[in-house]
Amino acid sequence: MTRKRERPILTAPQSSGEYEAAVAAFIRDRGVTRCPTACLVRTQASVPSADRAALEHYEAEREQSRRLHLAATARLLGVLLPPSSVC
């Protein structure tokens, strides 16, 4: 299935004003408000301490889950892991 384009793709704008207008039009037309990957990785922006703590808690739980999964897989395969790599 092919997608019908409503408008042609814009060429590179000549001035910063044209660029800003093109970006604003894109955001207005598409409803884009933020980059989806911005929610997945650390940022350099200032983040409230509660959000930082929640992210660190999430990362710690994820790492523990990864280690438990690794240990369970190793047991299934009969592989002995060094004690430091198991929770």
Residues 6-36 pLDDT 10s = 665 656 656 778 888 887 888 788 776 666 5
Residues 37-69 pLDDT 10s = 555 666 667 778 898 899 999 999 999 999 999
Say if 21 falls within a structural domain: no
Say if 58 falls within a structural domain: yes
Helix (H) or strand (E) holding 64: helix 49-77
Residue in 6, 13, 45 with CA at minimum distance from that of residue 29: 6
Say if 59 falls within a structural domain: yes
User: What residue numbers bound the domain in which 72 lies?
Assistant: 52-79
Say if 19 falls within a structural domain: no
Count of domains for the chain: 1
**pTM of the predicted structure, to 2 decimals:** 0.42
- Alpha-helical segments (H) within 5-48: 16-30
Q: Which residue has the higher pLDDT, 78 or 64?
A: 64
